[in-house]
Amino acid sequence: MTYTMKRMALFLERLNHSDQPPEAHSPLVASFVAALFSFALIFGMDSRFIGALPQWWAELLVYAVIPILLAFILLYRSSWHHEMRRATRALVLTVTSCTLFGAAVIVAALALLVISCTFASCLDRFSAFHY
- Report pLDDT digits (tens) over 35-72: 888 888 887 776 677 778 888 888 888 888 889 999 99
CB neighbours (10 Å) of residue 103?
14
> For residues 120 and 72, what is the distance between their CA atoms, to the nearest angstrom?
37
- Taking only the tens place, the pLDDT of each residue in 84-127 is 788 898 899 999 999 999 998 899 899 989 988 888 777 666 66
pTM, two decimals, is 0.67
- pLDDT category at 27 given cuts 50, 70, 90 is confident
Q: Is 55 left (phi over 0), alpha (psi -120 to 50) or beta?
A: beta
